[in-house]
Amino acid sequence: MAGFLEFVSGIVWGAPTIGLISAFGLYFTLKSGFFQITGLRDILRDIKAKFTRGKDGISPLSAFATALGGTVGIGSISGVGIALAEGGPGSVFWMWVIGFLGCMLKYAEINVAVRHRAREDGIFSGSAMHALKKSGKKITSFLFACSCLFTSFFTGCLTQSSAVAAELSRNGLPKAFCGAIIALLVFISIYKGKKTIAAISGVLVPAASAVYLTLTFFIIGVNFARLPHAFFSIFKSAFGLRQAGAGAAGWAFSKCVRVGVTRGIFSSEAGMGSSPMAHSSSEDATPHSQGGWGVLEIIVDTFVFSTLTALALLSAGFTDMGDMYMFSFGSAGNTLLPVLLAVFGFAAVISWCFYGETAIKFLFAKLHPIVLPIYKALVACFAFLGAMIAVGSAWDLADIANSLMMFPNLYLLFIKRKEICLCFGRKKR
């Protein structure tokens, strides 16, 4: 089964898919005049002015933290280690490329979601499914909503729980016990719905991020002399400077690109249409300003967390996070990393529950009070099952699930491309 899942994942994330998502990112980058660079100062100024909360809604900061909880963490920590092990140091370069282009993909999908959002139960709800339905694409909107539910179980639950349980089991804890604890905590946190999820994410994600970045800077500082070599290996491996014409090198190069892109997409979720569900819930969001929050989300995830993780691993000479923490912090590393991964993984699971709840309310408008408790119970079950599944199979399932959301979302961006690009000329705030 593991071999089959890897085979399917390789086909789904072949050259056509990579080319498609890169083309979309490049299109919006060029149309915006490289807004992820030229507009960064405006984005930061707008963010500084919006640390407020609406009367009944969710603040931009909580929406940002919820979206960030679904991206930063397992993908930016364990995912980077897997990328280095499978695709070599060059995969980091291709994560940067897809991250740079992904900034404007994220802007575009959030822009559309906010523009077509509606208030539900006192909170704004917006997503690709809402925008597709309003555009008369009911079948595509239904497919996206179903894909979102499917992905919430696999990317949102199985992969996160699998990675957390793998690290906790290093300390001798049974995986079944880890899964049971994760499932219980998740169910308690998501029981009251979106506002509770956003509130928890708003506390957990910044706190865990501060601790993780401090430890990562320490590791890089200790191995600072090897930092130039780390950068050199990334660029050398990315382009296959030696033996570029050889068949084996060509295969390695293509795998380097595929692994870098898939891990980059998993980490940032650019092009999937997931985090716009959190961003569009912000009470005072506008399409342009909240799109800027999305750009910042990619910058934080890819160019801060993922890049620092990669540099720490390469400068220390590891591809496994657990080994690096054990080497750097001794026996304390066996506790530090599992705890951090547990917090990040937990934040990711409940963030995906936020997205799943949006899909449930979309698919079952009148029946969602009945369906939603069932969904939350299933989420807890998948969180438990994730602890028991092999890490490799969990990642392959997540990659397949991610693609199911990506294609209808990219279709939406295609039909709304002119509407999105108008914001760059008018600079609507």
Q: What is the pLDDT of residues 179-203, one digit of tens each?
A: 898 888 888 777 765 666 766 766 7
* Residue located via tokens 């980058």: 29
Greatest CA span in the chain, whole angstroms? 63
CATH superfamily of 2-30+59-418: Amino acid/polyamine transporter I (1.20.1740.10)
67 or 167: which carries more pLDDT confidence? 167
Mean pLDDT of 243-269: 56
pLDDT reading at 112 higher than 90 = yes
Q: Are 9 and 2 in contact (CB under 8 A)?
A: no
Give the C-alpha separation, 118 to 79, whole Å.
Answer: 35
> Residue 182: in which H helix or E strand, if any?
helix 175-190
Stretch among 47-61, 105-119, 205-219 having the lowest mean pLDDT:
47-61
**Where exactly are the structural domains of the chain?**
2-30+59-418
pLDDT reading at 54 higher than 60 = no
Mean pLDDT of 346-360: 84
Mean pLDDT of 198-220: 84
In order of 79, 127, 173, 256, 260, the CA distances from 12 in angstroms are 18, 24, 35, 16, 15
92 or 72: which carries more pLDDT confidence? 92
25 or 345: which carries more pLDDT confidence? 25
Comparing C-alpha atoms, which of 391, 400, 399, 397 is closest to residue 85? 391
Residue 352 confidence (pLDDT) = 83
Which parts of 321-367 fold into alpha helices (H)?
Answer: 321-329, 333-363
Task: Read off the pLDDT band of 166 (50, 70, 90).
Answer: confident
Share of the chain above pLDDT 70, in %: 83
Mean pLDDT of 100-115: 92
Task: Read off the pLDDT band of 253 (50, 70, 90).
Answer: very low
Residue 244 confidence (pLDDT) = 40
What global pTM score does this model have?
0.84
Give the C-alpha separation, 145 to 360, whole Å.
Answer: 8
Give the C-alpha separation, 60 to 52, whole Å.
Answer: 7
Q: Are 298 and 337 in contact (CB under 8 A)?
A: no
Q: Are 106 and 125 in contact (CB under 8 A)?
A: no
pLDDT reading at 411 higher than 90 = yes
Residues in the chain: 429
Residue 186 confidence (pLDDT) = 82
Phi-psi region of 54 (alpha: psi -120 to 50; beta: other; left: phi over 0): beta
Mean pLDDT (the chain, rounded):
82
Q: Are 235 and 44 in contact (CB under 8 A)?
A: no
Mean pLDDT of 204-209: 81
Residue 198 confidence (pLDDT) = 67
pLDDT reading at 362 higher than 60 = yes
Task: Read off the pLDDT band of 260 (50, 70, 90).
Answer: low
Residues linked to residue 123 through DSSP beta bridges, in sequence order = 120
Comparing C-alpha atoms, which of 348, 247, 258 is closest to residue 6? 258
